[in-house]
Amino acid sequence: MLALVVFMTQFNYWFGDYNRSDLNSMKEEIVLISKENEQLLVENKLLEEERNKLSSGREAIEGLARSELGLIKPGETFYVFKDAKEESPQNN
């Protein structure tokens, strides 16, 4: 009788619905999901900071448009400065 109880317990431990190998794979999956969650939290924090910066006023939006999109207001003159290396002809 004792051998049967031990056998059933061990059988469920090794081959049952929630066996040892399934639990180990679930632990690995939990670690991966936790790392992904941490990365998403960092991204969310950066996006929230950018949202707060943009909602602070028109100047912030205008500065972003100027730097990333090349916004030029009417009446302004746009200048492009080249490096000295770019201006000199290349010797082939």
Any idea which residue has 């109880």 for tokens?
A: 5
Report d(CA 62, CA 70) in Å as an integer. Answer: 10
Residue extents of the structural domains in the chain: 2-75
Chain segment 25-66, per-residue pLDDT in tens: 889 999 999 999 999 999 999 999 888 877 777 777 787 788
pTM of the model: 0.47
**Residue 34: what pLDDT?**
97
Any idea which residue has 């100047």 for tokens?
A: 59
Average pLDDT of the residues of the chain: 82
- What are the DSSP E strand ranges found in the chain? none
